Amino acid sequence: MKKILFLYLTLINVAFGYHYDDIVLKAQASIFPKIILLDKKIQNKLIDGKIVYTIVYNKSDYNTALSIEKFINKNFQGSLDKYNYKVNLVEFEKFSIQTQASAVYVLNLSEHIEKIAKVASEKGIISFSYDINNLKKGLMFSLVIEKSTVLYLKKEILFATKIEFVDALLQMVRFVEADYIDKNNFDYQNKLNSRNYYAKYFMNQKK
Amino acid sequence: MTSKFFWNVLSTSSLLLTSLNAQSNNILDSITKDMDRFNNVATITKQNEDYQPYIISVFNGKELETLGVSNLKESLQLVPGVDITTDNFNNQTPIFRGSNALAYGQTKLFIDDILVNNLFFDSYSEYLGLPIEMIKRIEVVRGPGSKTNGVNAYAGSIHVITYAEDFKDFESKDKMIFKYGSYDYRMSGFIQKFKTENLTATVDFYYQKDNKKLKAGPDGYSQGSMSSTDLGKDNTTLSQNGDAPVWNEDYSLSLNLKYKDFTLKGRSLNHTQGSAYGINLSLPQNEDRVKLPSYYLELGYDKEISNFYLDIKAGVKYDTFDSKAKLGPNGVDFIDYEKFVNSNNTIVNNVIFPNGIYGEHLAKQRTLYQSSYLTYKGIDNHTITSGYRFLKEETTDMVSKLSNWATGDAALVDYTETFPFFNKNAERNIKIFSLQDEFQFNKKLNFIYGFNYETTSYEDAGFEPRISMVYQKDLENIFKAIYSRSHRNPSWQEMFTANNAARVGSTDLKPEKVDALEFSYIKKFSTDTYLQTNIFYLQNKDQIYNSATDPLYRNVVDTDIYGLELEYTGHLSSDDKLYLNYTYLTGTSTITDTGERSSLTNVAHHLAKGYYIYNLNNNLSLSGIAKYVGEKKRVLSDTRNKVDAYTTIDTTLNYKNHTYNYDIAFSIKNIFDEHVIYPSTPKTYSQDYTQEGRTFLVTLRKEF
């Protein structure tokens, strides 16, 4: 009987809402919408003059998505700087190139991340991820609480043509590689001084 | 040509940098402030625990509620390397990493940053019943690396954070709680907050009571308590079996106020418990009781000015040991012990207690303290904190009443002046000076180093250094190394107990000392999945010990302990939560005055705990807790068999109504009615202390 119960307790695998960290969720909900404003090409992404912040979620995470929407509305009171905004909740199966989105925020999903990242890339919009591990699957931004709060950005964003961030943001973030979290990321931060960094950045832009 | 181009590009980039418009600057400034704010919340709530220079486990109150955990004690049983022990008072104590299983003050309990260990035992068993609904978070730091400003935690520290803690965007709700369970356990309580622009007040209250009795015996009389071969007295036939009254009754009221830079924290806990296994090891009557009330009040002021942060606190804490019980059975045949002791063991008058021996023992303690700490962040990559903490500890009242030693009459006689059980003038002053620097060497590596220097009106602890390092190799791999020295001052009981055949206090006792080396490696698999591996070596010196054959407390035990802890948090799939930990510990212990050397005794070498939670749907969750405690070896002179290992499994079904914000939970604990026992010391209760078997608990929580 004990063995049966032990197996029952340890092997059962029933789907339910992912356990989200409240601090990380709220930090992301406070900061990510502001990052959209630092895209110099934001005008190209407005939909009916509004910023549409689309939250993509698994069906079981609907309550989490809803709570984020409430939190954003409470904090921003309907406008991001000079722009009105709308929060759009979309189940991941329904997210496509037709989905209205000026930026997309992806909650935890075990699959379809690559597809969402591809759509975001084609639309030329910023993509944010709850889980930093999804940056290696193509999403752009994540926020992690380490010893301090750290914004991570996939390095390839520097080569995107439809997104252009103000330079100061790029000094604030840490970069990760596309295929995997960059093991030398800190070296990158430490060793590259800003002069070399911007030289490289603008040379890439010129190409 | 390339160089010219390069500098042109650089000039352009510089111009771009300096021409950032005000709008972007404002947004960036706002993002920076947000990051600082959330970083502050994460640091205070130990969200970034993996990067902190401690070996720490953090348990969230809400999650523990979902698991059906009822109180602080049950929460601590989930912590890696922690076991629970008890004694004849039923003074239950968490044992961290096998450190001196017979002492009490090895660990410190803080509630909202206030140290609440009582002075009499240096324990906190009266707080172990603190309902989980009153607890927002429990942070358990294992090892002396847990040194907090001015407070030495010898084997570990437990920080209970109540719902008085609040941050912007993380405000908690008011709530009411009702519980009913086995042993006619009833509990009700509430948390209420009041807020104005500058003032925040949080009140929590609870009342709980049960009528728990546990099978016990034969009692200590069977092992020679109140018997003496030298005096020709044999009371072993008066030994009893039966139910030990281990019931509890608590009511507690707490108030936390914050007004601008000032805080006021107060709590009044009135804890009464059954006399359990008897002060003199005779099974007591059901109504016999021990009161262990605890009251504290602390005024604080903290202010951040430029690069400085000032933190000033002053407080008072009262605790009492108040026992009223039948101490010996009818017909005890002994001697006039008062006359015997006061005549230097020369006068032996026989006396019989036909109606038994009764006693009232009271010792009230007061601790006054004041501390000031200043933190300076003006030097790049350094955070320097320095300050002091002064304490004045004293006994303010003592009463010692017993049945008549001369006549054997059961009626109480006041022996407070002539034959006290305790030194009514007990007093100790402590001064602690601390200096610490947190040095961020680079983004990967940071150090904390510093020391405490402590003097007391008895033996000094002196200089105690600590250095720790955290190395974050990358996002997935974090390493920690900690060296620290700490101490435990003798408890009041160990210093000031008098006229007791089983315990003789001594003011010559030195603090117990520990030197600890701890290493930790954390492998992070994802945002919320990690495996932490800790190895530790603890060199304990001058541990305080007494025994039935030599009841004088003395610094005669040296113990080396080393071990391994594994702690995993993660998922079996992407949708669930699993927590597991395992501890292996071993070592040797030497009683220096007899040369007796043995492997660790009264300590489980293997401990494993874990829990699993899943939601059947958005409203209903099912969870399970499993705990394994390995067998325990006896001390060398104890011929009894080892204490058996045991495994307990609990389960809870929790229903949450999101519309009306209430929860109903039904728990079954120790489903298989496993025989759980805590070891007794030799010559006491030979069959150890049996704990409860299968129990149930129903909980109703409503948030407003």
Q: Which of B10, B475, B480 to mutate to test the interface with A (most CBs of A within 10 A)?
A: B475
User: According to the model, what pLDDT value does residue B144 have?
Assistant: 78
Surface of A (123-182) touching B: CB under 8 A: 130-133, 144-149, 151, 166-169, 172, 181
User: What confidence tens digit (pLDDT) does each residue in B436-477 have?
Assistant: 999 999 888 999 999 999 999 999 999 999 999 999 998 889
Size of interface A-B (CB pairs under 8 A): 169
Alpha carbons B122 and B107: distance in angstroms, whole number: 9
Q: Which residues of A touch B25 (CB under 8 A)?
A: 168
Summarize pLDDT for A125-164 with one digit per residue, the tens. 999 999 888 888 889 999 998 888 899 998 877 777 788 8
Q: Count CB atoms within 10 A of the CB of residue B103.
A: 26
CB-nearest partner of A6 from B170, B527, B626: B626
Q: Which residues of A touch B27 (CB under 8 A)?
A: 34, 37-38, 81
Residue B169 forms beta bridges with which residues? none
Q: pLDDT tens for residues B360-389?
A: 999 999 999 999 999 999 999 999 999 999
Residue of B nearest to A82 (CA): B23
Contact residues, chain A, for B621 at CB < 8 Å: 16
Question: pTM score > 0.80 for this model?
Answer: yes
**Cα–Cα distance, A102 to A55 (Å, whole number):** 11
Contacts of B15 in chain A (CB under 8 A): none
Within B262-354, residue ranges assigned H as helices are 337-342
Are the beta carbons of B474 and A131 separated by less than 8 Å?
no
Span B421-449, mean pLDDT? 93
Sort out which chain B residues have CB atoms less than 8 A from A169's CB and list them. Answer: 28
What confidence category does residue B398 fall into, taking pLDDT thresholds of 50, 70 and 90?
very high
Q: Are B95 and B83 in contact, with CB atoms under 8 Å apart?
A: yes
Minimum Cα–Cα distance from A8: chain B residue: B624
Interhelix angle A22-36/A62-76, rounded to 10 degrees, is 50
Residue in A with minimal Cα distance to B9: A199
- CB distance from A38 to chain B under 8 Å? yes
Confidence of residue B619 (pLDDT cuts 50, 70, 90): confident
Whose CA is closest to B470, among B456, B458, B484, B481? B481
Half-sphere exposure of B336 (CA within 13 A, CB side): 16
Residue B11 pLDDT: 52
Q: Do you know the residue count of chain B? A: 704
pLDDT at A7: 42
Burial of residue B332, with CB atoms counted within 10 A of its CB: 0-12 exposed, 13-18 middle, 19 or more buried: buried
B148-152, B417-421, B511-515: segment of lowest average pLDDT: B148-152
Q: CA B417, CA B410: separation in Å to the nearest integer?
A: 19
pLDDT band (50, 70, 90) for residue B534: very high
Report, as an integer, the average pLDDT of B481-500. 92
Question: With an 8 Å Cβ cutoff, are A30 and B38 in contact?
Answer: yes
Q: Which residue is listed with tokens 């009514």?
A: B424
CB-CB: which of A16, A108, A195 is closest to B576?
A16
| Contact yes or no for B649 and A5 at CB 8 A | yes
A:182-201 residues touching chain B, CB 8 A cutoff? 183, 185-186, 189-190, 195, 198-199, 201
State the smallest CA–CA distance between residue B526 and chain A in angstroms.
7
pLDDT, average across residues B427-442: 94
User: In this structure, which amino acid lies at residue B156?
Assistant: G
Domains of chain A: 20-182 (3.40.50.2300)
Helices in B223-357 by DSSP H: which ranges? 337-342
Nearest CA to CA, how far is B140 from chain A (Å)?
18
Residues of chain B neighbouring A5 (CB-CB closer than 8 A): 624, 649, 671
Which residue among B12, B30, B672 sits closest to A2, beta carbon to beta carbon? B672
* A34 touches B at CB < 8 Å: yes
For chain A, positions 47-86, list CB contacts with chain B under 8 A: 60, 63, 71, 75, 81
Per-residue three-class SS string for B538-596: EEEEEEEECCCCCCECEEEEEEEEEEEEEEEEECCCCCCEEEEEEEEEEEEEEECCCCE
